């Protein structure tokens, strides 16, 4: 299968968390999340734009921190207009962004970006709750 998210070709890292050992790699995680992402898991400020055709819209931080739970590594952020950060994952030499499709043809820079801390992102209760929801739904699927 051909994926469209950034780094899909090199996304061959295995889970480091035994709870998620059935998820072979980030592509398999993408497949499972494709059935979970919805308007309710989208960032509230973007919900009015969310569609099934653009399922990764507003899902970046909760998805990147979930991928970190599964595969380890770090979550980095690309600064966007308005001071928000678009989150993605880096594990050793493997860089992938499960939610990059939301930007269409826009090319993002995945170099020299700051590490993102879940404590900062999850200070927003709505974000923490969305993260807990997708994680619980993923566990149900397993």
* Domain boundary assignment for the chain: 24-141
Task: Dump strand ranges (E) for 13-93.
Answer: 74-79, 85-91
Most distant CA pair in the chain: distance in Å?
38
pLDDT at 81: 86
Going residue by residue through the chain (142 aa), what tens digit of pLDDT does each one get?
Answer: 789 999 999 999 999 999 999 999 999 999 999 999 999 999 999 999 999 999 999 999 999 999 999 999 999 999 998 889 999 999 999 999 999 999 999 999 999 999 999 999 999 999 999 999 999 999 999 9
Structure confidence at residue 83 (pLDDT): 87
The pTM of the full predicted model, rounded to 2 decimals, is: 0.96
């Amino acid at each position: 299968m051909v994926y469209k998210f950034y780094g899909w070709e090199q996304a061959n890292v295995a889970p480091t968390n035994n709870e998620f050992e059935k998820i072979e790699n980030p592509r398999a995680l993408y497949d499972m999340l494709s059935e979970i992402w919805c308007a309710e898991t989208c960032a509230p400020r973007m919900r009015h734009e969310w569609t099934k055709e653009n399922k990764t819209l507003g899902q970046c931080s909760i998805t990147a921190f979930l991928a970190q739970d599964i595969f380890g590594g770090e979550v980095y952020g690309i600064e966007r207009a308005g001071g928000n950060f678009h989150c993605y994952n880096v594990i050793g030499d493997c860089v992938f962004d499960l939610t990059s499709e939301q930007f269409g043809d826009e090319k993002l820079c995945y170099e020299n970006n700051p590490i993102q801390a879940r404590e900062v992102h999850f200070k927003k209760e709505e974000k923490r709750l969305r993260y807990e929801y997708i994680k619980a739904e993923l566990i149900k699927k397993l």
